[in-house]
Amino acid sequence: MRVVIIGSGNTATVLGRQIAAAGHEIGQVLSRQEEHAALLGRQLQSPFATGLENIVRDAGLYIAAVSDSALLSLGERLSLPGKLVVHTAGSVPGNVLQPISDRYGVLYPLQSLRKEIGYFPEMPLLVDAAHPEDLETITAFARTLSANVQTAGDDTRRKLHLAGVFINNFSNYLYTLAADYCGKEKIDFSLLLPLIKETAERVTHAAPREVQTGPAIRGDGITIEKHLELLDNYENIKELYELFTHQIQEFYKEG
C-alpha cells in the first residue's frame, strides 16, 4: 500500500520504519520542521514536505502520527475528501478526523515508542473505522505490521491508554526515583535490573495481584520503619513509600 505519514516524532518514526520494512511504499513524509521531515524521509527513502498544502493525494492510506493537540486542529488545515485517514492516538476519538475525510479511522500502537530504538518492539495495534469496509482495509494493513491486531472503539482505547500510563509512565518514574536515590547514596542501580526484569516477566504468567511481594503485603512493620528512617532526607520518596505501603495493605485487606 502507498502510505503518507504526517508527523516525524517517535510514533511516526518507529511506525514508519515498520511500514517500510513490511514492504509498503512510503509516498511522503510531512512535518512542520523541514529538518525533521528530511531526516525521516531519508530513513524511509521517501519524499518529504513541510506544508500540508503540499501533501500528495494519490496514497491509499494517510497516517496522522502527531500530538493530541495537533490532531484537534488538523481538520482546519487539511482536506482529503474520499481518502482513508487514520490517527495513532489512544485518547482521541476517531471522528476528530471527520473534517478531513468521511473515511476516517484509528491505528493505535499500544506501546511506548522511542525513535532512538534500533529494533521493532512487540506492538499490539488497536484499530477502528467509521465504515466497515474501511475497518477491513485498516485491519488487513495492521496485520502486516503486527501479529496482535484488535478492534477497539474510542472508550476502550481511552481506558487502555490510562492503564498504560500506570504500567509504563508511572513505573518508569519510580525507576527514576530509585536510580536517583542510588546515585546519591553511591550504590549501583544496575544491581536492580534483574529484579525489574523478573517482576515484569512474572506478570506475563500470573495476575499482578498474585505476585505481589515486599514488606507491605507481609505486614513487616519493622522493615517498613527501617526503610522510612533511610528516607528521612528524601521527603518526596518517603511520601510515596508511605502512600504505596498504605494502599497495598488496604488493597490486600479488602481482597
The pLDDT of residue 120 is 87
Please say if the pLDDT value at position 49 is more than 70.
yes
Give the contacts of 246 (CB within 8 A, at least 6 positions apart).
Answer: none
Nearest CA among 118, 72, 136 for reference residue 99: 72
Of 152, 185, 210, the residue at which a domain comes to its end is 152
Mean pLDDT, rounded, for 13-27: 96
Amino acid present at 12: A
Contact between 31 and 8 under an 8 Å Cβ cutoff? The reply is: yes
Q: Is the domain of 134 the same as that of 21?
A: yes
Q: Is the domain of 216 the same as that of 243?
A: yes
CB count within 10 Å of CB 143 equals 14
SS3 string, the chain, reads: CEEEEECCCHHHHHHHHHHHHCCCEEEEEECCCHHHHHHHHHHHCCCEECCHHHCCCCCCEEEECCCHHHHHHHCCCCCCCCCCEEECCCCCCHHHHCCCCCCEEEEEECCCCCCCCCCCCCCCEEEEECCHHHHHHHHHHHCCCCCCEEECCHHHHHHHHHHHHHHHHHHHHHHHHHHHHHHHCCCCHHHHHHHHHHHHHHCCCCCHHHCCCCHHHHCCHHHHHHHHHHCCCCHHHHHHHHHHHHHHHHHHHHC
**Segment 183-221, tens digit of pLDDT:** 999 999 999 999 999 999 999 999 999 999 999 999 999
**Segment 68-91, tens digit of pLDDT:** 999 999 999 999 999 999 999 999
**Segment 226-243, tens digit of pLDDT:** 999 999 999 999 999 999
φ, ψ (nearest 5 deg) of residue 3: -125, 140
The CATH number that applies at residue 142 is: 3.40.50.720
Q: Is the domain of 179 the same as that of 55?
A: no
CA distances from 195 to 9, 47, 199, 236 (A): 32, 45, 6, 23
Q: Is the domain of 25 the same as that of 48?
A: yes
Q: Is the domain of 138 the same as that of 183?
A: no
How far is the C-alpha of 144 from the C-alpha of 167, rounded, in Å?
Answer: 27
Confidence of residue 118 (pLDDT cuts 50, 70, 90): confident
Domain that holds residue 144: 2-152
The pLDDT of residue 255 is 61
Q: Is the domain of 91 the same as that of 163?
A: no
The CATH number that applies at residue 189 is: 1.10.1040.20
pTM of this structure: 0.91
The pLDDT of residue 71 is 95
Q: Is the domain of 88 the same as that of 56?
A: yes
